[in-house]
Structure 1
Amino acid sequence: MTPASGRQNIDPRNVNRRRDKNPWKVVVITLVTLGVVALLAVFGYFTYLYASLPKVDRLADYRPPIVSQVFGDDGSLVGEFYLERRIVVPVEKIPRKLIQAFVAAEDSNFYQHKGLDYLGIARAAVKNLLAMRKKEGASTITQQVAKSMLLTSEKSFARKFKEAILATRMEKMLSKDDILYIYLNQIYLGGGAYGVQVAAETYFGKNVEQLNLAEMAMLAGLPKAPNSYSPIKHLDRARERQAYVLERMVREGYVTQAEADHARATPIVVRSMKKVNSEQSAYFLEHIRIKLEETYGMDRLYKEGLKIYTTMNAEMQKGAFDAVVNGLKNVDKRQGFRGAVKYLGETEVDTFSKKVEDGIDTASLKQGSTYQGVVTAVDPAKGDATVRVGDRTGTISRKNMAWAGKVQLVNAWGKQDGKGKSLPLGSVVFVSVLTPDVNKQGAIFSLDQEPEAQAAVVALDPLTGAVKAMVGGYDFRRSQFNRAVQAKRNPGSAFKPIIYAAALDKGLTAATTFDDSPVEYEGGGDKAWKPKNYDNIYRGIVTMREALTNSINVVSVKILEQIGVGAAIDYAKKLGITSPLAANLTLALGSSSVTPLELTSAYAVFASGGYRTTPYFITKVEDADGKVLEETAPPVIPTFTNQSTATLTNADLPPATGAVPGGGAVPAIAPETAYIITNLMESVVTSGTGQRARALGRPVAGKTGTTNDMKDAWFVGYVPQLVAGVWVGYDQERSLGAGGSGGQAAAPIWTEFMQRALAGIPVKNFIQPADITFATINVRTGRLAREGSPGATQECFVAGTEPTAYDGEQDTPTTEENASDSDGLPEWVRAGRLPRRSESR
């Protein structure tokens, strides 16, 4: 400090030095501040994640989504509803060696760690670092359970953090066996199988406790990549993975080297446990699924393990499915071969075949099944074609494609003509398996094609209304429209028995005669309606029996005209027909649309002796704990006896039904009417349009139906124990073409089904009520005929309605009661005749 100024002397260098230090302080403070903020953010983030963790305590009551099972009338499993196909088994039921196999393969330190395997994490990190990719994971079984049960499958740090926290929590709350119980029931093991029980069924056809060490090791190898190590699709890879699991088990001391070697040498037989064929039962199951979902909701149906008992008979259902497939193929083949589905280039074959291979879940192609394949080689001289189906091959011989006519085999790639009658290399065709393949080659195929027409079959017990089988189309995967209950189609002549039954109740008899000659009716417009017979043949005077036996259209119209359209409609409603019916004479020819179930249940009234039952499908529903949620009460149908006191009772039903019958029953028509119309329809089978059904070799009643231009083909028929109806046609109405009548298209399906359905069921005659009597009549007059007279035949009547006069005699009452009009029947009805009226010829 100088005396003159009194100020301090300041060195400029010191000032600069102080200024130089200030920026560093700012930087430090900034960094510290950011660090604290970052730590607070991280802490807050982890606090948030920690707080958002789901509760672990709900795992103590492990109740995963489980299968709701559907049972048939004998208690056999016929269907399942599920989101995940899983059957939960207690840990005590799971073999200890199977548990050890999973532990050795997936988490060798499972019994030592507390949820996280730190040594495993370090080992995996080193291996992944050296490989410069993720080569090995370090998730413990506990972590896998946490992810599966409590978290999503997203790949993120947050999810891994949550997984680690939850794993440590689980280890504190649950025992090791509790964790294994959840893990082994929850894990997905490929092939649609969740849990070890369903996996054991899927791959080896066994329950889990029946597995041998070789099979256990193979299952334990699946979690890493279930599809890649599937024993069904990739047995060689599955064996490699099995060897790894066995090696790990030896290293962990769970098995000896000798046991492991023996397991490696044990043959693996891949076969699925006999389970539901959802394909053959799909329409039936879908029908009840809709009702169940409406009643119980989706969650309860798909997740809570309901037990649903149905009226389905599994053997009948399979017979119905097979009959539809075979019948439609026959109908379709009569229309000719339509050519290849499409044509592939040589480079496209592998890609196409891979897709086919992915859809085949069996070790060998199933005999009788149909697949899509590609023609990969041909021998035009020999007439053989080699077809690749997925990763398997087979041959079609000339004989096995004969139905297709002259098909040209071309040893070149791509479509060769515009007619579709050639099969060049790359042709995609349908083939049916005649002889299965061995080692994925050497199958014998026949050329096939997918039908364009559709069909429906429905069969029910006439005494209870229980629906025993139902098929609603050729392939549920292709079309879910259930034609058995949803399609309303014209029944054609299959509706005639309803008209004839109404006529019987109006006082006509089987011997009543009509003139089968052309007739003309005035219409609403300029043109008159002239009903014609199917064969354009007119037979003159015929009885009602002959008219129904030969399905004579003109006589059927005249019968309806005689009894009145209104009376016929009312009668149809009594039989259970609910669809609107045309209030005109075309009703006699089946011009009003009905569903196959509707018409079949109407025929059931005849088969039951006059009682109408309500068709039903479900007999009982229980929850997973066995509590009954609903049950169908049995119907009460009084029995009736014939002159020999034979009685049709529930004992006459197919054996081992198991289901509780139900649906309710009400008297609809007189037993005598039911018997006579049945007797008339027996003539349809023995000597009329339904003769194909004679192949059953037992009493059968039934009626064919064919609509204009053969757009619809029907056959509905029954035996005392079972009634069934068949419809065949195109969804978009068009002619079925050659062989498309009811007798040619529908009756063969009905017959094949009934032959299968009635196997082992005793032959029975239709029960004759005591009021039924027989008389010998002349079929040309409807009067009594003397024995030996030309045209004489036995005819059945309700006692008191049979003719009273012989040919050439006047009708004379036999009793004072018959002479009166107290029963309301005019004299011409008693004589079995109708008054004549003016008709055009």
Structure 2
Amino acid sequence: MERRAPSSGGGKGLLKVVLLCVATLAVISALGAGGYLFYLLSRLPRVDRLADYKPPIVSQVFGDDGSLVGEFYLERRIVVPVDRMPRKLIQAFVAAEDASFYSHRGIDYFGILRAAFKNVLSMRKKEGASTITQQVTKSMLLTSEKKFSRKIKEAILAKRMEEKLTKDEILYIYLNQIYMGAGAYGVQAAAETYFGKDVDHLNLAEMAMLAGLPKSPNAYSPIKHLEKARERQAYVLDRMVKEAYITPAEAEHARNTPLSIHPMKKVNNEQSAYFLEYLRIQLEERYGEDQLYKGGLKIYTTMNAAMQRAAYESLRAGLKAVDKRQGFRGPQKYLQADEVDAFCANVEAGIDSAVLKTGETYQGVVVGVNPARGEARVRVGERTGILSRKNMAWAGRLALVNGYDQPRKGRKSLCLGSVIDVAVVSPEIDKQGAQFSLDQTPDVQAALVAIDPRSGGIKAMVGGYDFRKSQFNRAMQSRRNAGSAFKPIIYAAALDKGFTPATVIEDVEVEYPDGSGGIWKPKNYDGTFRGPVTMREALTNSINIVSVKIMDQIGASYAADYARKFGFTSPISANLALALGAASVSPLELTSAYAVFANKGVSLPRSVITKVTDNDGVVLQQQDSVPVATPILSPENAYVITNLMQSVVSSGTGHRASIVGRPVAGKTGTTNDSKDAWFVGYVPQLAAGVWVGYDQERSLGAGGSGGQAAAPIWAEFMQKAVSELPVEDFEAPENVTFVLINPRTGRLAREGTPGAIMECFVKGAEPSSYDGD
């Protein structure tokens, strides 16, 4: 029987089926990919909106001399045009980030292959291949999600961007948008942050260092990791040589150029924080958050930077003096031996300088004591120093305990592990050998505000000891009893009712009905009675009973109405206690009232803003060149009150506020139990007020009067604040006259009369008779 060869038709049929399936899958995949691509394309953002690039820009605050005093921002960015950027700076970034930038059309295909090859060889992702255009695309139009779809979108948009924008336009966005570390966005902010320069003043060494930052701003930060930053700088210079942007000789010179890293001091700092917060509230109400934090506003203010610094320094130093008079409160807490290292590591992280700064206060831990020598060894972060007995003498004789045993309750001592504040007397060498003095963060608070009486502009404002711990602005938000600092307003009202500086009032015990069936007996601060005294003597020595009697004679309602004319918005009650400062007012209100006296009886609106412009220079707001002036009292009476308050400073309760070589007028204020201490005063060009007290009312204790607690702060501030201003006297109006009087009787005195003084009067109000007439 003949055998037949097996048929191959079945195999061919299977192959056809397989090929058909593959073809079908390919078509489906192609359709799917096309559909997916169409879906992506339909959801891509528009590239053409980048032509009107408007990133968030820092809003800048300027002082009265044009100096930068503060900033408001979400991202610290200062946009600069490409033509202000040095060409070599642009070339440095191109060489480091995208060498073929000028030749590719958004995507560097050769770069992708090169990066992939290197990554395969190293078995890990070692090199990226995103062009500058792709980086702009990701930053401006996409999210940073790590998905394949995002890479596809990035590539498509990069191609579109290259069609819509020029290379310089892309660089303009990139170099202003990119994050450069240390809170700086864009090359201008980075140049300021790291070198304290404008971008067009950078040298090649600095340009190369900035160009090395985008790869890893933190790792290559010249502030934190200078050696790594130098290595990256060398890489950038090599790339610039390879791309023929610079010569090898230029690169070598740049490598050897000394780098001076001067981190820009943040202008929005603690010393101006309360002023800037007061300003921020007004700006945000008018312009909104977006424009304030992103719109690049230029805000010109009344702040004087030197005065603001003086206010901050004087208030803090004064509060420490007041606080130390209350005694040492003891260590803040106690650590065990195994807790010290971790605590000190946290302290070290907050120290931003290579050595501890003389005069600065730091948190330290006692790590050794020598009772025999009366000294303790204190560790501040990674540094150590000595706290000697003489440098903690203000705290009394503290026991030094050589162990980690906490002291018995109520006993003041320093043991191992005691956490204390120390001020640097002299800095350390190689992190050892610093000399410390015992310090203490005050519990007591204060406020200081200074106003130009001739313009109404607020020159300085400090609302507390530390803005970081309390944003409550005591200069404007607190309402505290004014005490005797309110008396000049009552005396001014009395002048309008016919009183004069020579009017004699009996300082004797007196009583009044208190309105509830009881009796009110006002008392003098020192508990004594002086008998007949003139108004001048009464104000000079702040005699309470005389002030109450004056107010009783002119009428409480009249006095309260008169006080309201000075611009107080706080409630002013019409009762006799107002003569002793029972009204609760803010330091800003009371200082503004004194500015009226300094400005010859005329009130001007308070202001902090002189002009606001947008980022293009368009004026959005401008202060009137001639502010609205409101006469409150006559120039003659304003001068008489000023003259009376000069006596308060020269020979009365405010003598600690005297400034050598300058006429000063002012008044102290102390409330019951010394819960509030005030000094408000002025020279012709500047009025300032200081309040001292606890947020939760309690006595300031020994040395807590206005003359002891507030006046020294005022004097230290004013001495610094007016140091560059010419010496001016208070100018007497033509209608003011001076005559010789007997202060015991208030009558005219003849030459040679014992104790006679020259007294000032508004013409026609001077006494007309002599003693014995």
- TM-score under structure 1 length normalisation: 0.85
Q: Does structure 2 conserve the Cα–Cα contact (< 8 Å) formed by 1:414 and 1:427?
A: no
Shift of 1:689: 0.3
Shift of 1:373: 3.8
Whole-angstrom distance in 1 between the partners of 2:112 and 2:140: 22
Among 278, 292, 295, the residue aligned to 1:301: 292
Letter in 1 for 2:732: Q
Whole-angstrom distance in 2 between the partners of 1:384 and 1:221: 49
Letter in 2 for 1:706: T
Matched, 1:249 2:240: yes
Whole-angstrom distance in 1 between the partners of 2:413 and 2:22: 81
Whole-angstrom distance in 1 between the partners of 2:415 and 2:674: 35
Query: Which residue of structure 2 lines up, in the alignment, with residue 646 of structure 1?
Result: none
What do the CA deviations read for 1:167-208 (whole angstroms, capped 9, x no partner)? 222222223332222211111111211111111111112222
Query: Which residue of structure 2 lines up, in the alignment, with residue 476 of structure 1?
Result: 467
What do the CA deviations read for 1:422-467 (whole angstroms, capped 9, x no partner)? 4444443333344456676665443322222211111111122111
Q: Residue 446 of structure 2 aligns to a residue in which SS?
A: strand
Query: Which residue of structure 1 lines up, in the alignment, with residue 488 of structure 2?
Result: 497
What do the CA deviations read for 1:791-837 (whole angstroms, capped 9, x no partner)? 3222211122222222232xxxxxxxxxxxxxxxxxxxxxxxxxxxx
Q: Residue 734 of structure 2 aligns to a residue in which SS?
A: coil
What do the CA deviations read for 1:648-685 (whole angstroms, capped 9, x no partner)? xxxxxxxxxxxxxx3x2111111111111111111100
Matched, 1:78 2:69: yes
Unpaired stretches in structure 2, ≥5 consecutive residues: 1-6
Query: Which residue of structure 2 lines up, in the alignment, with residue 737 of structure 1?
Result: 701
Shift of 1:413: 5.1
Shift of 1:470: 1.1
What do the CA deviations read for 1:194-251 (whole angstroms, capped 9, x no partner)? 1111111111122222222222222222222222322222323323333333343344
Distance 1:345 1:117, change over 3 A: farther
Matched, 1:691 2:655: yes
Among 207, 215, 220, the residue aligned to 1:224: 215
Query: Which residue of structure 2 lines up, in the alignment, with residue 543 of structure 1?
Result: 534
Shift of 1:601: 0.9
| Worse-matched range after superposition: 271-280 or 382-391 | 382-391
Distance 1:366 1:126, change over 3 A: farther
Q: Does structure 1 conserve the Cα–Cα contact (< 8 Å) formed by 2:564 and 2:572?
A: no
Q: Residue 58 of structure 1 aligns to a residue in which SS?
A: helix
Query: Which residue of structure 1 lines up, in the alignment, with residue 549 of structure 2?
Result: 558
1:261-410 aligned within 5 A: 261-273=252-264, 276-378=267-369, 380-390=371-381, 394-410=385-401
Q: Residue 692 of structure 1 aligns to a residue in which SS?
A: helix
Shift of 1:56: 1.2
Among 422, 433, 439, the residue aligned to 1:431: 422
Unpaired stretches in structure 1, ≥5 consecutive residues: 1-13, 636-661, 810-841
Shift of 1:370: 3.1
Query: Which residue of structure 2 lines up, in the alignment, with residue 814 of structure 1?
Result: none
Q: Does structure 1 conserve the Cα–Cα contact (< 8 Å) formed by 2:613 and 2:620?
A: yes
Whole-angstrom distance in 2 between the partners of 1:324 and 1:138: 56
Among 704, 713, 717, the residue aligned to 1:753: 717
Q: Does structure 1 conserve the Cα–Cα contact (< 8 Å) formed by 2:512 and 2:520?
A: yes
| Worse-matched range after superposition: 79-88 or 121-130 | 121-130
Whole-angstrom distance in 1 between the partners of 2:163 and 2:432: 55
Letter in 2 for 1:92: D
Whole-angstrom distance in 2 between the partners of 1:429 and 1:352: 12
Shift of 1:139: 2.2
Among 445, 449, 469, the residue aligned to 1:454: 445
What do the CA deviations read for 1:697-739 (whole angstroms, capped 9, x no partner)? 3111100001111111100001111111111111111112221
Query: Which residue of structure 2 lines up, in the alignment, with residue 164 of structure 1?
Result: 155
Query: Which residue of structure 1 lines up, in the alignment, with residue 589 of structure 2?
Result: 598
Query: Which residue of structure 2 lines up, in the alignment, with residue 805 of structure 1?
Result: 769
Whole-angstrom distance in 2 between the partners of 1:674 and 1:386: 58
Aligned residues: 767
Distance 1:136 1:374, change over 3 A: farther
Distance 1:415 1:185, change over 3 A: farther
Shift of 1:35: 7.0
Q: Does structure 1 conserve the Cα–Cα contact (< 8 Å) formed by 2:223 and 2:263?
A: no
Query: Which residue of structure 2 lines up, in the alignment, with residue 774 of structure 1?
Result: 738
Aligned-residue Cα RMSD (Å) equals: 2.9
Whole-angstrom distance in 2 between the partners of 1:722 and 1:688: 21
What do the CA deviations read for 1:6-43 (whole angstroms, capped 9, x no partner)? xxxxxxxx9xx99x999999999999877766654444
What do the CA deviations read for 1:84-109 (whole angstroms, capped 9, x no partner)? 11111222222233223223332333
Matched, 1:672 2:663: no
Shift of 1:306: 1.4
The structure with the largest alpha-carbon Rg is 1
Shift of 1:77: 1.4
Query: Which residue of structure 1 lines up, in the alignment, with residue 512 of structure 2?
Result: 521
Matched, 1:235 2:226: yes
What do the CA deviations read for 1:589-616 (whole angstroms, capped 9, x no partner)? 1111011111111111111111111111
Shift of 1:276: 2.1
What do the CA deviations read for 1:114-152 (whole angstroms, capped 9, x no partner)? 322334334444444555544333322222111111122
Shift of 1:531: 0.9
Q: Does structure 2 conserve the Cα–Cα contact (< 8 Å) formed by 1:690 and 1:702?
A: yes
Shift of 1:333: 1.6
Among 757, 760, 763, the residue aligned to 1:796: 760
Query: Which residue of structure 2 lines up, in the alignment, with residue 708 of structure 1?
Result: 672
Q: Does structure 2 conserve the Cα–Cα contact (< 8 Å) formed by 1:374 and 1:389?
A: yes
What do the CA deviations read for 1:289-311 (whole angstroms, capped 9, x no partner)? 11111111222222221111111
Matched, 1:487 2:451: no
Distance 1:131 1:433, change over 3 A: farther
Distance 1:424 1:574, change over 3 A: same
What do the CA deviations read for 1:478-522 (whole angstroms, capped 9, x no partner)? 111111111111010000111111111100111111111111222
> Sequence identity, in percent?
69
Query: Which residue of structure 1 lines up, in the alignment, with residue 3 of structure 2?
Result: none
Letter in 2 for 1:612: S
Whole-angstrom distance in 1 between the partners of 2:329 and 2:231: 46
Shift of 1:257: 3.9
- TM-score under structure 2 length normalisation: 0.92
Whole-angstrom distance in 1 between the partners of 2:652 and 2:590: 20
Among 162, 174, 188, the residue aligned to 1:197: 188
Distance 1:391 1:60, change over 3 A: farther
Shift of 1:575: 1.8
